[in-house]
């Protein structure tokens, strides 16, 4: 151990001190011998100077180290702040992107059609799929169900499913009520409740059926009635609008002095009903208008009735045609300006061609009216129809009856070699008979 220590001289020891403890050199110098103090003064000063330099150098290094450490801290702080800001901005961006790409789901059920859903899905980039099913509650082509609830959010590009109504089942049987006992409101409620889309309701004016009541109904599908009616079958129901009323917007002209033809044309053009009252007038020509109950320039409506007083010409009184024959009566009618229509009827009492009656009494004021004159045909005459077909005699009897003969007959089938239907005999033939006579005809049965 001592040998090891002896290797170290004082100079070598001092050198080690310089290496390890430079800050203590002053103290080491101060404990040297006083004899060498002068010698060591310069060394001390030099050492002190060196120490100061060393200290100064050391302080500078520490200051640099401290400054670097502060820069590092500031840099770390800056990096940390920037990182936090970046993460915040990134988070906000991602959140904003997420929110921007979300869509709030509305309520489609019962309110929206398939087409409206498709438009919404395309606008918001939503992939949609749908299935269809019958429904009595939801109208045809409207949404029954949706996979995402109302008010929820859905990401664009997501998938959404729907169930679409096909309406009520068209093949379902529906009980038919008595439409004739129902009014319009009741029928429409029944139609809506049963989804009877093929029931058509038409309306028309009707003076006899009360407004809103049923006039008639008809099954339009062949082979369908109340017992087998299905929703898809057609029914046509006609509802009354009551009596038609029109606005009084047609101005009435002054017809005085005009002809019946003028009035009739105006009435036709404006759908007005005209009632004529004819009176004799020696001053106003026949067929000319004397007066009207609707004042000129007043307003009337379509279908209104206007009464027109019209002249029938000179006053003429019905002459007496009794005692005259047909030819004589025609001469008198022309002379008196009277229109006559001659008819002939059978009579038991008055000979043929003699006057029987006239339709207007003698002395009646007439102007243009048709007067019917009836002359006698005498008694009915029955020809001999033996050998003729039975229907020949029947037709002759019917013709006489059309002119007042009032004959009756019966046909009796008898055995005969004559052709079937041939007249064998009758109880009256080739003679006059009274009005109302009964005739018996015997007809062959044939072989």
- The CATH number of whichever domain residue 187 belongs to comes to 3.30.10
pLDDT at 93: 57
Q: Is 160 helix (H, G, I), strand (E, B) or coil?
A: strand
Q: Is 189 helix (H, G, I), strand (E, B) or coil?
A: helix
Residues 300 and 287 in one domain: yes
Whether 189 and 199 have beta carbons less than 8 Å apart is answered as no
C-alpha closest to that of 356 among 344, 374, 333, 378: 374
Give the residue from 361, 376, 391 where a domain finishes.
Answer: 376
How many folded domains does the chain comprise? 6
How many whole angstroms from its chain centre is CA 23? 113
Does any domain span residue 81?
Answer: no
Beta strands in 147-198 (DSSP E): 153-155, 159-165
pLDDT at 89: 64
CA torsion sign, 325 to 327 to 332 to 334?
positive
**Owning domain of residue 293:** 250-311
pLDDT at 185: 95
Give the residue from 197, 219, 240 where a domain finishes.
Answer: 240
Does any domain span residue 80?
Answer: no
Does any domain span residue 224?
Answer: yes
DSSP per position, 371-439 = EEEEEE--S-EE---TTSBHHHHHHHHHHHHTTT---EEEEEEE--SSPTTBEEEESS-SEE--TT-EE
What is the rounded distance in angstroms from the CA atom of residue 284 to the CA atom of residue 288? 7
Does any domain span residue 93?
Answer: no
Residues 389 and 350 in one domain: no
Residue-wise pLDDT tens digits, 329-373: 999 998 888 889 999 999 999 999 899 999 989 988 776 678 899
Q: Could you tell me the two tokens for 292?
A: 């009207």
Long-range contacts, 262-266 (Cβ 8 Å, 24+): 262/289, 263/289, 263/308
Does any domain span residue 36?
Answer: yes
Residue-wise pLDDT tens digits, 1-43: 444 444 444 444 444 444 444 444 444 344 444 444 444 444 4
Give the residue from 240, 262, 281 where a domain finishes.
Answer: 240
Whole-prediction pTM: 0.41
Does any domain span residue 79?
Answer: no
Does any domain span residue 199?
Answer: yes
Q: Is 157 helix (H, G, I), strand (E, B) or coil?
A: coil
For the chain, residues with pLDDT lower than 50 are 1-49, 51-57
pLDDT at 257: 84
- The CATH number of whichever domain residue 159 belongs to comes to 3.30.10.20
C-alpha closest to that of 392 among 421, 434, 433, 428: 421
Question: Which residues, in sequence order, are bridge partners of residue 232?
Answer: none
């Amino acid at each position: 151990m001592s040998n090891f220590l002896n290797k170290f001289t004082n100079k070598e020891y001092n050198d080690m001190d310089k290496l390890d403890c430079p800050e203590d050199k002053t103290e080491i110098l101060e404990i040297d011998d006083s004899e060498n103090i002068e010698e060591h003064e310069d060394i001390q000063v030099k050492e002190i100077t060196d120490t100061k330099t060393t200290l100064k150098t050391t302080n500078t290094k520490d200051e640099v180290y401290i400054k670097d450490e502060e820069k590092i801290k500031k840099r770390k702080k800056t990096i940390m702040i920037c990182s936090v800001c970046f993460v915040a901005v990134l988070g906000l961006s991602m959140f904003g992107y997420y929110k921007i790409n979300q869509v709030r789901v509305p309520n489609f059920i019962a309110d929206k059609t398939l087409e409206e859903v498709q438009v919404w899905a395309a606008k918001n980039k939503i992939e949609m799929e749908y299935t269809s099913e019958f429904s009595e509650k939801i109208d045809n082509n409207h949404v029954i169900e949706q996979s995402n609830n109302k008010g929820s959010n859905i990401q664009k590009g997501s998938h959404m499913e729907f169930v679409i109504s096909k309406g009520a089942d068209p093949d379902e049987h529906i009980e038919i009520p008595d439409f004739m006992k129902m009014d319009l409101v009741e029928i429409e409620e029944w139609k809506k409740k049963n989804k009877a889309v093929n029931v058509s309701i038409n309306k028309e004016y009707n003076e006899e059926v009360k407004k809103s009541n049923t006039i008639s109904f008809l099954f339009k599908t062949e082979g369908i009635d109340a017992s087998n009616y299905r929703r898809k079958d057609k029914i046509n129901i006609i509802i009354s609008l009551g009596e038609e009323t029109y606005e009084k917007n047609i101005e009435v002209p002054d017809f005085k002095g005009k002809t019946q033809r003028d009035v009739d044309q105006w009435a036709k053009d404006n759908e007005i009903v005209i009632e004529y009252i004819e009176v004799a007038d020696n001053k106003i020509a026949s067929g000319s208008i004397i007066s009207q109950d609707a004042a000129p320039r007043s307003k009337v409506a379509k279908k209104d009735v206007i009464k027109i007083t019209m002249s029938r010409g000179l006053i003429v009184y019905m002459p007496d045609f009794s005692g005259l024959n047909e030819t004589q009566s025609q001469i008198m009618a022309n002379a008196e300006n009277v229109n006559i229509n001659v008819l002939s009827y059978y009579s038991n009492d008055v000979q043929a061609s003699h006057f029987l009656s006239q339709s207007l009494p003698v002395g009646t004021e007439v102007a243009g009216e048709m007067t019917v004159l009836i002359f006698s045909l005498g008694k009915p005459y029955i020809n001999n129809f033996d050998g003729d077909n039975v229907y020949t005699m029947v037709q002759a009897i019917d013709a006489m009856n059309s002119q007042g003969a009032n004959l009756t007959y019966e046909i009796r089938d008898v055995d005969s070699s004559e052709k079937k239907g041939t007249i064998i005999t009758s109880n009256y033939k080739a003679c006059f008979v009274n009005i109302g006579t009964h005739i018996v005809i015997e007809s062959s049965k044939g072989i």
